[in-house]
Each structure stands twice: as structure tokens, then as C-alpha cells.
Structure 1
Amino acid sequence: MGATVTTFSELLRRRAGRSDAAASGAAASGAQGLFAGECDVADYADLLGQYAHVYAALERAAERMADHPVAAPFVTNQLTRLPAITADLEYLVGPDWSELCCPTAATTAYVRRLNEVAATSPGGFVAHHYTRYLGDLSGGPTLAALLEERFGFDTNGVLFTIFDQVADPAAFQETYRAELDAAPWTDAERDAVLAEVETAAALDRAVLRSIGHGLPAATA
């Protein structure tokens, strides 16, 4: 009987969930805070304000990586979150939200890492892209339901959780993982991607702990 070969996407999934700093994305992480009953509307708005800075940096990196042969398959407008975050913050905070939602030190560190790694390295970009968007896509419906139940939100305020351009999230994630497995990285480059996923998870956890009551990061 031959040895079972573990795919790279499976290795990433395991690495993302190997510690309390699971790289499960904003939606799943924020949902954990709501489950714990530790988040009010102001905390949620603060979380979105921090992620406005994070996603602005990540989506600038996506623009730079759109023509890179390795990173390009992962770049799609279907996942873009910043317009939805902006609309949610205008609803929750007001038109001057950008002046009121200042980045915490943890958010500044996260953005710096994105600018240094995700915007310059295809592997670094994919690691951060995977950490954020696949977690958001899978955790979004849970977070939307929690926000509706707790705060009475319907569409306004939860646009961040709604991927209306992704018709079949499960099929999208399957295709995404197939692209991860097909990416032509060397062993050293794959190791670097795995390590960067852990870094992204730690940065996300720090952001969550820097706001409100210190929302806990999710576990896988």
C-alpha cells in the first residue's frame, strides 16, 4: 500500500488550525466574540474600522499581484471586501468614519506586514489572501446570522459578510484549493507560505485583542 500524499491545501488548512491563533478569517473570528457575548455594536464597528485598513492594504497588494503568473489565479473581484466594509461603516458610524476609526498599534503592524510581504512576494500574498478571504467566505453566514439575532441587522451593517458575487461558496473554495495545489512553488517556497499563514493568524489575533473587550480569535 502506497503512502498517502497530503496536498498543499490540506497542509495549509492544518497549519491554519494548529493553534488558538487559527487563520480562520475575520468572519469566523468575530463570530467567536459574539458567541461569547463580549461584543456590542461599537466593538463590531471598531472591528470593521480596523479591517478597513487591513483590507485596503491587502487589496492594494492584489492589484500589484494581478499579473503575476503564480498569484494571479487567486486575484478576483468576487472576494473584494473594502467597498462592503466602507458601506457598513457609513451605516454604523457615519460618513466621517475614516476620521473616527483610527488603526490600533496591532492594525498598524498588520498593515506594515502586508505592505512588506503581501505586496512584494507572490507566496506572501497568497498566504494572507488565503487567511483572510477563505475564512471570511466560510464564516460569513454564521456571523451574519449572529449579527441579525443580536443587533437586528438585516443587510445594512452586515454587507461585509455577504459575498453576493460568489454563487456557490463551496465550489469556489474547492477551486481555490485546487489552485493552491497547482501553484508551481518549490519546497522552500511552500514552507514560506505555510509560515506566513501562521504570521497572518497571529496578526489577526492581535487586532482582535486590541479592540473593545478583546475579542478572542477563533479556533479551527
Structure 2
Amino acid sequence: MSACPFSKPANDNGCPFGTSPKSQSINEPPTGTSGGLGGCPIDNKAKDDIEDLLSVQAPRSLSLNGKVLDRFLPETYPIKINKYQDYTEILDDPQLAMAMRQGTKVVHRAAENSVFTRRFLKGDITKDEYGQYLRSLYFVYKSMEGLLELHQDDPAIEMIYFPDELNRTETLLSDISFFYGPERLAQVTDPASMTPAVKQYIQAMEEACKVNPALMVSHSYARYLGDLSGGQILAKRLKKHILHLEKQDSSWDSRAGLAFYHFNNIGNQNEFKNMYRQQLDEAPVTARTKELVVAEAIKSFELNIALFDEIQSLSDSDQLYKIDDNAKETNDNTATSKSSPQPSSLSSPLSSPSPSSFQWLLQNVSSLPALTTGVAAITTLGCVAYLRHRQT
């Protein structure tokens, strides 16, 4: 092997960057100032450099009875712990919106393979299934919006905190009341009725806040932009296939039962989305926080897919709360719910599930690790609908 390219002429001893003479025995301890190992620092990696090369750590997998939750994290996106990188320095141009958009591409496509998602987009779901969808979203949004309010002073969250324009909790309550009837509202929104996938979603957001409140930016991005992008498309599916309305009907423009998809305090939704993305791109985050935000965005999409899969599973096993058509509200207040017998309590199998009812979901729900290394993923139904609509 040739000598050090930075060495002096042949009649000089050793590399000009080292102080160890050529005659030094290989068994003698190294001397000199070049990284503490002696010899040429170009040929010999300093100890600190070697340690840094070994500092790339693979993210820990979160699993749900064999389902790996971080399977959508790109292999080319490791979390590197570099002690020489200043993780306390705020990035000049973080481009969070672009980073999350690129990071969640794969899981967006994966969401389209969800059975419930495909059926929803085809208008092939039942009222009971849609009712469960609303109930699941209600618990998720109530928790998410509570956490965003709690941490609204965080510099990153402050950039994208628009409760008057975006909050969905009250609209979901309105839609749930429409389908189940106001007299059952307290029962179907009782926290005791939360399903395992919903509990897991809420727990994940709470754990994210413990790591860094800024990670709630990921959940806000995944849910709200999906709702804004595909909401109107989904609303039309629901009018036709769930509410059985026709475009020529005078009731077609009614928002009864569809409040979730209407953002009354936003004028031009495209302009608002562009502003929201710009705010994301200017969020004051460090390089480390940016990595975690992208990973958490992927995980947020995965958690949503888990909700969809759970609804399909509950439907297949006939464990959904039933919607009584006579109990829901109507625009003209002519509902006949009072003349229809209502159950005195929720007698759904969900009230007391058997040990095997949700076996594939119950395992590991209470043992999810902290999200510093837990990185995984999932999509919103609204985003999927929007992307499919653009392709047609």
C-alpha cells in the first residue's frame, strides 16, 4: 500500500501529521497528537470518529401481535445520534411539510389496500360501520385537540394551532347525535366504550407529548389536511350511499349528519391549506425534532389504518352498535324515535368483549414503548379519497 499522500519526501520520517517515527514497534503504545492513536490521521480513524460511524441506530419496532407498526418507515431514513451535530440549533429552513409529505408516501399507498377504505370509497359501507367510524374519530379528535390546546404555547404547535378553523370535536358530536339519536349520545360517547385501536391511538399521542410536544404537529398534519383535502368527496359518497339522497333532491345540499366535513370558519380551503403548509415549513425545530416529527407523521397514518381495520373486524364479527333509523334526528324534526323502542342500555358485545374478541389488538396495547425510537405510520381516509380523486 502506498505511503500517506501527505507525507514528506522519502528521506523524512513518517507522516507530517503524526509524531510517531517509522521505527516505532507495532507492539508499543501509540504516541503523538493525531487523534490519540498515533500515525497518520488520514490512514487511521480516530477513536471518536470510529464511535461516530457506529452511532447509526435502527429504530425499534412497535408491534401489535405480529403487525409491525413502523414497517412504512423508509430504510434510508435512520435516526442518527451524532454527538458532533448540534441538535439544539434551530433549522433555518426545516421544510416540515415537504418532509412529512415525502415520508408518508408509502403509507398513503398502503392505506388504499385497507378493506374498509376501499369499501368506503365505493360507497359500500353500512350505517353501523359509519357510526363506529364517527365514534372512533370523536375520541381521537377530543384527545388530539385537548393536547394541542394544552401545548399551544410550544413554538412549533403555535405555528399551526387554529382551533376556531379546524377543531372537529363538536361537529363529530353533532353527526353522532344525528345517526344514533340525542338520547343515546351520552352512551355511545362514553369513554368506557372506546375500542382497543382508539385507546392505542390516544396513548400514542400522549406518549408523543412526553417525548416532545412538537410531535403533535404530525398528528395535526395527518388528520386536518386529510379532512380538508378529501372531505367533500367523502361527503358526496355518504349522501348517496348512507343517506340515500339524490342530486336532484332538494335535501342534497343539506349538511345534516355531515357537519364533520364542513369547515364553516374557513373561506377558501386551498388557500388555507397552502398557508398551513407554509406555517409548517417555518416551524422552529431542530434537526432532531424534524426527524422525530416525520417519523411520528408516519406513525399517525398507521394508527388511522388500525382504526379502519378494526371497524372492518368488528363488522365482520357483528360487534357494532346498531343505529336505529327511527332514532336519528332529521331536518324537519319528524323523527319517530319516541314511538320506537330504544334499548335501555348498550347491549353491544363491545360492552363486555370476550378474551378472544380482539386478541390481535389487545396484545401489546399497554406495553407500547416511548416514541423516541417508536416510529411507524398510517393514513387518513380523506387523503386517500383526495389522491384517488386526482387520479380519475
Q: Same fold (TM over 0.5)?
A: yes
Give the Cα–Cα distance (whole angstroms) in 2 for the partners of residues 79 and 175 of structure 1.
Answer: 13
For 2:276, the equivalent position in structure 1 comes to 176
Cα distance in 1 for residues equivalent to 2:262 and 2:307: 22
Please give the residue correspondences for 1:62-141 in structure 2 after superposition, counting only pairs within 5 Å.
62-76=148-162, 77-95=164-182, 96-100=184-188, 102-118=193-209, 121-141=212-232
Deviations 1:38-82 (A, max 9, x none): 411111111000111100100101111222222112111210000
The CA RMSD measured in Å over matched residues stands at 2.7
* Change in 2 beyond 3 A, CA 1:30/1:145: farther
CA contact under 8 A between 1:124 and 1:196: conserved in structure 2?
yes
TM-score of the two chains, using structure 1 as the length reference? 0.85
> Relative to 1, partners in 2 of residues 1:99 and 1:214: Cα closer, same or farther, differing over 3 Å?
closer
**Distance of 1:197 and 1:214 partners within structure 2:** 26
Higher Rg of the two aligned structures: 2
Which whole-Å CA distance do the structure 2 matches of 1:194 and 1:22 have between them? 18
User: Structure 2 length normalisation: TM-score?
Assistant: 0.50
Q: Does 1:207 align with 2:307?
A: yes
Deviations 1:115-171 (A, max 9, x none): 222477332110001011111111111011111111236311110111111101111
* Residues 1:34 and 2:125 are matched in the alignment: no
Q: Deviation per CA, 1:76-101, whole angstroms, max 9, x where unpaired?
A: 12100000000000110122234235
Range that drifts further, 37-46 or 106-115: 37-46
Q: What code does the residue aligned with 2:188 have?
A: L
Q: Which amino acid aligns with 1:71?
A: I
- Report SS of the residue matched to 2:240: helix
Gaps of 5+ in 1: 24-28
> Which fold has the larger relative contact order, with Cα–Cα distance below 8 Å and residues 6 or more apart in sequence?
1
Q: How many residue pairs were aligned?
A: 211
Question: Residues 217 and 30 from structure 1, CA distance in 2 versus in 1: closer, same or farther, beyond 3 angstroms?
Answer: farther
Q: Separation in 2 of the partners of 1:40 and 1:175?
A: 36
Please give the alpha-carbon distance, in whole angstroms, between the structure 1 residues aligned to 2:148 and 2:303: 19
Q: 1:188 aligns with which of 281, 288, 307?
A: 288
Amino acid corresponding to residue 92 of structure 1 in structure 2: F
Q: Deviations over 1:173-195 (max 9, x none)?
A: 11111111111211111110000
Quote the Cα distance in structure 1 between the aligned partners of 2:126 and 2:310: 15
**Could you tell me which residue of structure 1 aligns to residue 130 of structure 2?**
44
1:167–1:67 Cα change, 3 Å: same
Aligned to 1:14: 102
Distance 2:306 2:202 in 1: 12
Identity of aligned residues (%): 26
